Amino acid sequence: MILEHFALNVSEPHKMKDWYVEHLDLTVVSEMAEPPFMIFLADESGRVIFELYSNPDGEYLDFREMHHLTMHCAFEVRNAAAERTRLESVGCTFVEEVSKEDGSHLVMLRDPWGLALQLCQRGVRMNSIHLP
């Protein structure tokens, strides 16, 4: 099997989409203009896709109340410190920073809706996808 996408039921999918496109360089793959507003976003590799949608039949999670280790969205970056500074300037809040023995530098933030975002500057790469 191949993982197609991961979905989050959120109260403001269009606002989140706009922020993620502008600040995390995600691309809209598909967008529904009517409820439940399913929006599919892809990373720059085009391999990883997640969906934002708003369906009141399901629960909207309060990401701010969830521990950041319960669920987070991780992004590979070249310079975690620089990305932390940039993302804090556009609404993210700092949670924690970890340096690993393998040389990895991990920074945990929360996006403006409270969803935990991890910036991963890896000492040892997790996969064969390479940043440009």
> In degrees rounded to 5, what are phi and psi of residue 18?
-60, -45
pLDDT of 128 strictly over 90 = no
Cα(26)–Cα(83) distance, rounded to whole angstroms?
Answer: 15
Name the token pair of 41: 């976003």
pLDDT of 97 strictly over 90 = yes
Q: Is the dihedral of CA 87, 71, 49, 62 positive or negative?
A: negative
What's the confidence (pLDDT) of residue 131? 53
Q: Which of 27, 119, 102 is nearest to 68 (CA)?
A: 119
36 prior amide bond cis, ω within 30 = yes
Q: Which of 66, 120, 59, 117 is nearest to 92 (CA)?
A: 117
Could you tell me the CATH superfamily of domain 1-55?
Answer: 2,3-Dihydroxybiphenyl 1,2-Dioxygenase, domain 1 (3.10.180.10)
Q: Is the dihedral of CA 100, 101, 102, 103 positive or negative?
A: positive
The model's pTM: 0.91
Q: Which CATH architecture has domain 63-132?
A: Roll (3.10)
Q: Which of 83, 111, 87, 107 is nearest to 96 (CA)?
A: 107
Residue 107's SS3 state is: strand
Q: Where are the domains of the chain?
A: 1-55, 63-132
Check for a shared fold between 1-55 and 63-132: yes
pLDDT tens digits for 34-86? 999 999 999 998 999 999 999 999 999 999 999 999 999 999 999 999 999 99
